[in-house]
Amino acid sequence: MRNIFTIAQRELVSYFTSPMAYVITVFFLFFTGLIFTFSIYQPGAQAEMRGLLGSMVFLTLMVAPFATMSLLAQERATGTLELLLTKPVRDVEVVLGKYFGALAFYISMLVLTLPYPLILSKYGDLDWGATWVGYLGLLLAAAAFLAIGVFASSLTRSQMASAGICLGVFLFIWLIGWVSYLVGGEGSTLADIAKNISVFEVFGDFEKGILDSKNVVYFVSLCIVSLFLAVRVLEMRRQV
């Protein structure tokens, strides 16, 4: 537990000593700000976070590969991984430490978007319940994306390859929802499956303020499976 904290802390500090963290933060905040501004100046705009949260989940999907690509791939490429893995630290602690470091960075970025709902609630009648559910959904989606990113980063020593794998997986779980429209909408089993594993569809519920345990389970299991696989990849070198 202490090791996870030590590693996470180092990762978080290292984000802010590299330009990547600032590029990602600026990118994220610039576009959320832009979308927020456009949306409130629309005639008849409602005081709600729905549209913005939807855009934020998409922006998260765009930045997560870049936020996670260096975590393990860089250590593997430069050789620092050998030093880390010969300390009295378990592989799972290394993976979780890296993961929580990335998550802490994301949360610090997300906190900077809180002025948007605050502005909305000052000048309008914002449904805070729905907003918090939306944020929870965003956080869960980000947690899943970052976990997938950690897994992608464990696979290769090339950061670009890691980001590439990551984006591929994200687009797949984002767009899989379209399958449900292709195969005839409601009713067919295939359409149901596609809908239930599409981030776009699952997040849609959170965005509307609906807290459904099946959606929470979806994101949490994505996290667990990805992190488990990342640990397995690290352990592969220990094969006899």
Partner 1 sequence: MIQVEGLTKYYGPVPAIMDVSFRVEKGEIVAFLGPNGAGKTTTMRILTGFMPATLGTARIAGIDVYEDSIEARRHIGYMPETTTLYTDMRVHQYLRYCGKLQGMRKPELADRLDLVMDQCGLSERRDAIIGTLSLGFRQRVGLAQALIHNPDVLILDEPTVGLDPNQIMEVRQLIKNLAGQHTVMLSTHILPEAQMTCERVIIINHGKIVAEDTPENLTAQIREVETIVVEVATDDGSVPRLLQDIPEVSSVRRLPDESRNAYLVDTRLGTDIRSQIAEFVVGKGWGLLELRPVEMSLEDVFRQLTTEEKGVA
Chain residues in the site for partner 1 (CB under 8 A): 2-3, 6-7, 10, 14, 17-18, 78-80, 82-90, 237-240
Task: Choose between 171 and 236: whose C-beta lies nearer to partner 1.
Answer: 236
What does the DSSP assignment read for 148-217?
HHHHHHHH-S-HHHHHHHHHHHHHHHHHTHHHHHHTTSTT-HHHHHHHHT-HHHHHHHHHTT---HHHHH
Distance from C-alpha of 214 to C-alpha of 114, rounded to nearest angstrom: 27
Minimal distance, residue 61 CB to partner 1, in Å: 27
Task: Choose between 86 and 213: whose C-beta lies nearer to partner 1.
Answer: 86
Which residue from 181, 148, 179 is spatially nearest to 64, judged by alpha carbons? 148
Q: What are the two backbone dihedrals, phi and then psi, of residue 5, each rounded to the nearest 5 degrees?
A: -65, -45
Task: Choose between 10 and 208: whose C-beta lies nearer to partner 1.
Answer: 10
Q: Which long-range contacts (CB under 8 A, 24 or more apart) does 117-124 make?
A: 117/49, 120/40, 120/47, 120/48, 120/49, 121/47, 123/47, 124/46, 124/47
Minimal distance, residue 12 CB to partner 1, in Å: 12
Task: Choose between 153 and 226: whose C-beta lies nearer to partner 1.
Answer: 153
Minimal distance, residue 152 CB to partner 1, in Å: 21
Minimal distance, residue 10 CB to partner 1, in Å: 6
Task: Choose between 189 and 239: whose C-beta lies nearer to partner 1.
Answer: 239
Minimal distance, residue 1 CB to partner 1, in Å: 12
Contacts of 140 (CB under 8 A, 6+ apart): 206, 215, 216, 219, 220
Which residue from 217, 230, 44 is spatially nearest to 153, judged by alpha carbons? 230
Helix axes 115-123, 19-40, angle to 10 degrees: 20
Minimal distance, residue 83 CB to partner 1, in Å: 6
Task: Choose between 85 and 155: whose C-beta lies nearer to partner 1.
Answer: 85
